Amino acid sequence: MANDPAAPDQRLKNSYEVPPAGPVAAFRFGLAWVWSLLVGVVGLLLAPVLGPRRVWAALAPRWGQVGLKLIGVKVRVLNPERLQGPALFLVQHISFVDVLYVPAILPPETTFVVKDELAKIPLWGWAIRAGGAVLLPRDRGEQAIAQLNAAVATRPPGQSLVIFPEGTRGYTGELLPFKRGAFHVALAARLPVVVIGAAGPERLMPKGGWVLRPGRVTVAVAEPIPTEGWAKETLAEHMAACRAVMEGERRRAQREGDGG
């Protein structure tokens, strides 16, 4: 258990206490929810006229950028020139703030790869589904993988994908084990993989919290990793290599965030 990268997170699961947020933070977070509802309604009205993917590409970045400003979250990106599409962006999942800053910094023609049950969340889930999100089925059998591969292979030309390879959030900001689904997507997409680590989200809205606080997030972007030589037989090696890269970027974000 000592060598398990998830062990510290699991030990905190039953004892972790989320510090309370103040009334100002709660008010600002409420404004962000109002903004989200407004964007959702506008998107639903425009989608039948302009097309859902076009509306998603236009609204998602602005939704994230304005939402961050309303809450008071400042995002610093290290090596933003590496955020070029089309690519498969593997992003560390730490906090609810990830859902805001990811569309704010990635190319507009980027859609999420998410678990199919998340697409049922009112407004947000409907929006990402309308925007062409690739849904990861709960069943991980061969038939489900074949359906996933077909969905990825038929995405629009030039579209980037973003996925949280850990599949869930932790309690401390530490990196959790990766799920294989992200790498089945990588095999099907044959896009360069861009790994992104972060520091700060765990302080703004820890897992179990209900209010996103003002603060700073530092995001570190790794160099693109080519996937032309990847194969199903070597998937575990690629998972381990990408996880090592993300751990390095997470630590770089911590150093730069603490010093900057």
Q: What is the pLDDT of residues 195-230, one digit of tens each?
A: 999 999 988 887 777 888 999 999 999 999 999 889
* pLDDT for res 18: 53
CA distances from 36 to 68, 100, 105, 124, 171 (A): 11, 10, 17, 8, 25
Mean pLDDT of 155-163: 88
Is 71 inside a domain boundary? yes
Is 125 inside a domain boundary? yes
Q: Find, among 6, 46, 34, the residue nearest to 173 by Cα.
A: 6
What is the chain's length?
260
Mean pLDDT of 54-75: 94
pLDDT(25) > 70? yes
Is 2 inside a domain boundary? no
Distance of alpha carbon 104 from alpha carbon 82, whole angstroms? 15
pLDDT(28) > 80? yes
CATH of the domain at 236: 3.40.1130
Is 118 inside a domain boundary? yes
Instruction: Produce one character per residue of 213-232: b if its CB has 16 or more CB atoms within 10 Å, e if not.
Output: bbbbbbbbbbebbebeebee
| Vertex 66: Cα angle to 62 and 68 (nearest 5) | 120
Domain extent, residue 166, equals 22-259
Is 33 inside a domain boundary? yes
Is 165 inside a domain boundary? yes
pLDDT(254) > 80? yes
Per the structure, the count of domains in the chain is 1
* pLDDT for res 16: 47
Count of beta carbons in the 10 Å neighbourhood of residue 48 = 9
Distance of alpha carbon 212 from alpha carbon 203, whole angstroms? 9
pLDDT, one tens digit per residue, over 12-24 is 444 445 556 688 9
Is 153 inside a domain boundary? yes
Is 211 inside a domain boundary? yes
Cβ–Cβ under 8 Å, residues 60 and 43 = no
* pLDDT for res 139: 64
